[in-house]
Amino acid sequence: MQPFISVIICSHNPKVDYIRKAISALKIQSLPKNLWELLLVDNASDRVISSEIDLSWHSQARHIREEQLGLTPARLRGIKEATSETLVFVDDDNILDSDYLEVALKISKDYTIIGAWGGQIRPEFEEPPPEWTKPLLPYLAIREFQRDSWSNVLQNNETIPCGAGLCVRKIVADQYAKLISHDSRRMNMDRKGKLLSSCGDTDIALTACHMGLGTGQFTSLKMTHIMPSSRLKEDYLLRMIKGTHYSGTILNYLWYQKIPQLSWRSSKIYSLYLRWRFGSRTCHFHEASQQGIRLALKEIANWENVANLNTDLSS
């Protein structure tokens, strides 16, 4: 029997205890194993994950090695290898509730107009987060809400799911892969080594909307995201903010042809105001967001110059 769901874990140099917890949660899924397959994509790890993680407990599980570094190449490899109508992307630090796959499959059958969806993401902190980090926690794929929501409006961010536990129809994933094959600029919108770009999952979701399908978030779909203390350090969060604003700016350009104009808020005077009014930490995070936007604008300007040059040469 062909499986209904393909679970895809993309992993680069994982913490062994984390990924084993993720695998253990998959072992106890309420959805019978003959209805889903498991693909563990080793994304250019320094060590071979297949020698550390046993998948023999699942007859439809296999290890896949992807040598091109980056979450996007790893996802593309998983999409290529998947045989099911619905794909579920699980990070190597995600612990799915025991009914996650069963609920994901039910949503895929009950909401045929939705192409990409997700659910609630609870944090499991290694240590309590400092008070100052709490406004930044949504950047770490933590999402809890009280009601279901769905939409097919491109710019409705309320219904856009996170990459952790992302469920997507294979037809959407295949179309996303096709978009990248025709536009390599999309390859840099996700994590690559230490680069913390983070909009590849949104790119997938917007692909669904572009195809006339919707995106949604469902309260019944639940998982836990292990949060190491290193992700609550100021240096990591600054890199996260910079990467998110970089990839978000690129995403808006590619989908909507929007090129943001830097306002007075990007000036040194505004930074000095933030430092005086709210302290140096707020100033640092604002500057990180502006650095990400400026980096993206520089890249977009290069693309525009090349496009203009090609137009001039062809005329």
Task: Please determine, for residue 314, whether its predicted confidence score (pLDDT) is greater than 70.
Answer: no
Q: What confidence tens digit (pLDDT) does each residue in 258-284 have?
A: 777 777 667 777 777 777 777 888 899
Q: Which of 257, 165, 176, 183 is nearest to 213 (CA)?
A: 176
**Among the ranges given (66-75, 124-133, 175-184, 305-314), the one the predictor scored with the smallest mean pLDDT:** 305-314
Strand partners, 41: 10, 64
pLDDT value at residue 222? 98
Mean pLDDT value across the chain: 91
Task: Please determine, for residue 199, whether its predicted confidence score (pLDDT) is greater than 80.
Answer: yes
Contact 309, 260 (CB under 8 A): no
112: buried, middle or exposed (CB in 10 Å: 19+, 13-18, 0-12)?
A: exposed
> How far apart are the C-alpha atoms of 119 and 168, rounded to whole Å?
12
* Residues contacting 67, CB < 8 A, separation 6+: 44
pLDDT value at residue 1? 65
206: buried, middle or exposed (CB in 10 Å: 19+, 13-18, 0-12)?
A: buried
Task: Please determine, for residue 104, whether its predicted confidence score (pLDDT) is greater than 90.
Answer: yes
CA distances from 162 to 151, 176, 286 (A): 15, 16, 23
Strand partners, 96: 223
> How far apart are the C-alpha atoms of 4 and 66, rounded to whole Å?
24
Contact 117, 150 (CB under 8 A): yes
Q: Which of 52, 56, 91 is nearest to 74 (CA)?
A: 91
> How far apart are the C-alpha atoms of 47 and 37, rounded to whole Å?
24
Q: Which of 8, 24, 117 is nearest to 60 (CA)?
A: 8
pLDDT value at residue 102? 98
Q: What confidence tens digit (pLDDT) does each residue in 63-89 have?
A: 999 999 999 999 999 999 999 999 999
Higher pLDDT, 183 or 198: 183
- Residues 138-161, mean pLDDT to the nearest whole number: 86
> How far apart are the C-alpha atoms of 262 and 53, rounded to whole Å?
47
Strand partners, 36: 5
Contact 116, 172 (CB under 8 A): yes
- Residues 56-62, mean pLDDT to the nearest whole number: 96
- Residues 238-246, mean pLDDT to the nearest whole number: 92
